[in-house]
Amino acid sequence: MDINNTHMIGEVIQLAIAPIFLLVGTGSFLNVMSGRLGRVVDRVRTLEDMLEAGETGEERRRHVEELRFLSRRMSYANRAIVFCSASALFICLVVALLFLSEIVGGSLEIGVAALFILSVLCLILGLIQFLIEISVATKSLRVRNELLQHSD
């Protein structure tokens, strides 16, 4: 490899830095969403066990209602994870295409641009799903009045 090729590879590495930062941020977001999803799944399992134990009355009704909210949250969290994972995949393909275009000497700018736009669109969709999941979580959180009232 001559000095010009080394210099060109260095330039490609510099071009690849921005998508790599986006990839790191997307990975961090995936970590957050996976953690949220894990907590929801744990709560679902706890509630299912309580309901299977023969819970009745008002307590059962509240737990079934909570399960409905948790089911919606799981759906939104799963979609957020899918969209953000797709975004991360497209970012990786952008980086690979940058290097491939340098190695082959072809003009792959349209492919790079299209994949980058696709990755950002998937990230946007993932973030929208995340916002909806947060909204559902917030709406489902209610402290019962009888628990707030204390007798002195």
pLDDT tens for each residue of 20-47 = 999 999 999 999 999 999 999 999 999 9
pLDDT of residue 26: 95
Give the pLDDT band (50/70/90) at residue 147.
low
Give the pLDDT band (50/70/90) at residue 83.
very high
Mean pLDDT of 86-107: 88
Residue 5 pLDDT more than 80? no
Cβ-count burial 34-73 (b if 16+ within 10 Å, e if not)? eebbeebeeebeebeeeeeeebeeeeeeebeebeebbebb
Mean pLDDT of 127-144: 88
pLDDT of residue 35: 96
pLDDT of residue 107: 79
Give the pLDDT band (50/70/90) at residue 144.
low
Q: Does the global pTM surpass 0.95? A: no
pLDDT of residue 148: 74
Structure tokens at 64: 């079934």
